[in-house]
Amino acid sequence: MKKGYWIVAYRSLSDESVLKEYGKLALPAIEAGGGKALIRTSEVEARESGLKQRVVVIEFESIEKAISTYNSAAYQAALRVLRPAAERDFRIVEGA
């Protein structure tokens, strides 16, 4: 079975403290869905139209798990904390 991934590129973050609060809720929700962080960094070499902002890649055992975790009540609660302070490009994709 092919794995599923969250690919997240932050466009802007207006309040770093909100990111920490989001993390306190998001991490347990992601782990409950079987997610594993592969990349979580602000150290980015931006190219083409890219921004030098935080990038996150989370791996799941399947795309179905990735989608169900995103849609879970626990993760949606984390998003409500984050949304006023962050704009992101968030994609859920299936691995090769």
pLDDT digits (tens, 9 = 90+) for 21-75: 999 999 999 999 999 999 999 999 999 988 899 999 999 999 999 999 999 999 9
Q: Where are the domains of the chain?
A: 4-94
CB burial readout 78-93, b (16+ within 10 A) else e: bbebbeebbebeeebe
The architecture CATH gives domain 4-94? 2-Layer Sandwich (3.30)
Q: Which of 93, 32, 22, 88 is nearest to 55 (CA)?
A: 88
Which H or E element spans position 6?
A: strand 4-13
pLDDT at 17 over 90: yes
> What's the token pair of residue 56?
């996150």
pTM recorded for the entire structure = 0.93
- Give the helix, strand, coil percentages of the chain, each rounded to 5: 40, 30, 30
Rounded mean pLDDT, 61-90? 97
